[in-house]
Structure 1
Amino acid sequence: MSLVGGVVVTHGQLANELVSAAEMIVGEIHHITAVSIGWHDDVEVAREAVAQAISRVSSDKGVLLLTDMFGGTPTNIAVTFLDNKDIGPIEVVTGVNLPMIIKLSAQSADDTLADVARRVRDQGQKNIYLASDLLSSGKN
């Protein structure tokens, strides 16, 4: 069964911890891996780490790169893979959170990279709430 691969790329250890937390919830996830970029890491070394991670989870369906913040080094590195014909289809979604990784882990073998990317993005947006609004909405 071929699934869209996933690479979570973030500042610090956030990527490792997000994938670890997702695995606590859904069990081991073989098609998703993490790359954590340290404050003092060389950009070319970090880019090579992302390239190696892509090759570990790559499938004929492509790889979705999830990054922590638009405009940050992890995203700037990730977008350099968008037009790389040597590694296959790539998409990048920024603003990664735990619900996004769980959604990526639960894809169907029939899903395309574009389908998965949109669903993962939508899941991330859908799971951001202001808790006080939720609690006060039932008091009217």
Structure 2
Amino acid sequence: MNKVILVAHGQLAHEMKRSAEMIFGELSDFQSVEFLKEEGLDSIQQKISQAMTDETADYLVLADLFCGTPYNASCAVAMKNTQQTIEVVSGMSLPLVLEAASMLQGNNLSSIVKHITSVAGDTVKSFSEQLIEEEEDF
């Protein structure tokens, strides 16, 4: 069974889950962890560990920024819990959260990670560049 933990600065993770649920419906296998200004690395590690309530589940942790405190704390939790499968991916965005949600059931965690990292570049678009590409197609 796969589960997802969204972790980010401020309220971003909670709001990301709420936004994804507006589009996808209830995401019962998703949890969100906030990182507040007054907290440190140890407290966010503890929150992430507490969110991993199912010891039999594999966990995908989507963090907002590469090498930010939520990401670093997630990596520390993954390294401490070698008995569990925990994958940490940075660059959380609504499109990637929705991609993970659509693949959560029936796929192994490594397939999900491979897919969301491969489509990450496709989720960022520039209107002017898209317009130029479309004009070149005509």
TM-score of the two chains, using structure 2 as the length reference:
0.89
Larger mean Cα displacement after TM superposition, 129-138 or 31-40: 129-138
Deviations 1:45-71 (A, max 9, x none): 22111111122xx46351000001111
Counterpart of 2:134? 138
Distance 2:68 2:12 in 1: 14
For structure 2, the 5+ residue unaligned runs are none
What letter matches 1:118 in structure 2?
K
Distance 2:49 2:13 in 1: 15
Indicate yes or no: 2:23 matched with 1:25: yes
Indicate yes or no: 2:71 matched with 1:101: no
After the TM superposition, which segments of 4 or more aligned residues of structure 1 sit over 4 Å from their partners?
Answer: none
For structure 1, the 5+ residue unaligned runs are none
Structure with higher helix content = 2
Deviations 1:10-32 (A, max 9, x none): 01111111111000001000111
RMSD: 1.7
Counterpart of 1:39? 37
1:66 is aligned, of 62, 66, 73, to 62
TM-score of the two chains, using structure 1 as the length reference:
0.88
Distance 2:83 2:5 in 1: 14
Distance 1:32 1:59 in 2: 15
Percent identity over paired residues: 25
Distance 2:83 2:19 in 1: 28
Change (3 A) 1:127 1:81: same
Q: Give the aligned length.
A: 136
